[in-house]
Amino acid sequence: MELTKYNHATVVLERDGVTLVLDPGAFTPEAADLVRAATGVLITHEHFDHFDVDAVRSGLEANAELVVRAPQAVVDQLGEHDGRVVAVQAGDAFAVGPFSVRVFGEQHAVIHRDIPTIANVGYLVDDAVFHPGDAYLVPGVPVQTLLLPTSGPWTHTAEAVDYVREVAPERAVQIHEAMLSEMGQQSAARFLGSDGLGPVPVTILPAGESITV
């Protein structure tokens, strides 16, 4: 399976010519094109940096085979599109083409007590790649590749260190990095990785680059 990182939270997985797009958000210039070409889209929560509503709507209109899985708040914005857009929650499991997907978690991490929390789910794809969205979700099952958020108003370095230790993945790939400079990304990767306090190295993938997972 090929993993390609795009800006911020957007990741594309490819297997056997089938693509699965996770969190095509407004910080990702290619979001609309990625969605139109995909077999499936997985969205962790409704915030604009993870869910570009116009990009996903246009993809559903352009690609009659496209399916979307997301929390109910996202489905409410998109409509069901003859059953192609389906709400998911923790405990769900389903297939998209050759991919198997399991759903974990309930809520977005707290930003501030004055800001209501919203639904947020994490996706484990092929029991290999875990995207937690905006939360330090611990799936409680083995994870080969953890997509690790490193910036945002909800992130905390101490919690992030403990999170990586608890998940104990085989590797970590930095995501959710848009609020960090290049120097900040390097610093976060060192601090959270095995050169710092984490158990495994944290890989920085520039937008558009891929690794095999």
Rounded to 5°, the CA angle 123-171-94 comes to 20
pTM of the model: 0.97
Tens-digit pLDDT profile for the chain (213 aa)? 999 999 999 999 999 999 999 999 999 999 999 999 999 999 999 999 999 999 999 999 999 999 999 999 999 999 999 999 999 999 999 999 999 999 999 999 999 999 999 999 999 999 999 999 999 999 999 999 999 999 999 999 999 999 999 999 999 999 999 999 999 999 999 999 999 999 999 999 999 999 999
Backbone φ, ψ for residue 86 (5° rounding): -130, 135
**DSSP H or E segment with residue 132:** none
Residues 193, 50, 83, 106, CA torsion sign:
positive
Residue for token digits 């190295």?
201
In what side-by-side order are the strands of the sheet with 85-87?
Answer: 85-87, 67-70, 40-42, 18-22, 11-15, 2-5, 210-212
**DSSP H or E segment with residue 77:** helix 72-78
In angstroms, the CA 68 to CA 130 distance is 17
- Alpha carbon 71 to its chain centroid, in Å, reads 13
